[in-house]
Amino acid sequence: INGCGYCLDMHSKEARAAGETEQRLYLLQVWREAPIYTARERAALAWAEAVTLVAQSEVSDEVYAEVREQFDERALVELNLAIIAINGWNRMAIAFRARVGDYVVAGKSK
């Protein structure tokens, strides 16, 4: 969503290390079409997309209603803070020219 190759490299490696499946990682780009994500995950993805791209389009009432069905107020604030943090780190990685492929999961070798 936020256009950072380094971030994709890092998060996909971390997700695999945490036990995420290859199929779910590969289908993430087409999450709307892939039935393997839960309603809660879909709401979180829609919210993350809307918040990340807020400068290009608004966060719609529909997306807000969808996310509120799945997340209470506290959980939504926590989700939003995670999105803000990821987008902030994204800007750091891009600005400081982090090299795609260099990220190593803690305790693993490259």
Residue 110: inside a domain:
no
- Contact between 46 and 63 under an 8 Å Cβ cutoff? The reply is yes
Residue 57: inside a domain:
yes
Residue 10, token pair as written in the block? 């890092």
pLDDT at 53 over 90: yes
State how many domains the chain has.
1
Residue 101: inside a domain:
no
Q: CATH number for the domain including 37? A: 1.20.1290.10
- Domain of 50? 5-95
Give residue-wise pLDDT tens across range 19-37.
999 999 999 999 999 999 9
pLDDT at 110 over 70: no
Angle separating helix axes 39-52 and 73-95, nearest 10 degrees: 50
pTM of the model: 0.88
Residue 87: inside a domain:
yes
Residue 102: inside a domain:
no
Residue 34, token pair as written in the block? 């892939």
Buried b (16+ CB within 10 A) or exposed e, 44-67: bbbbbbbbbeeeeeeeeeebbebb
Residue 26: inside a domain:
yes
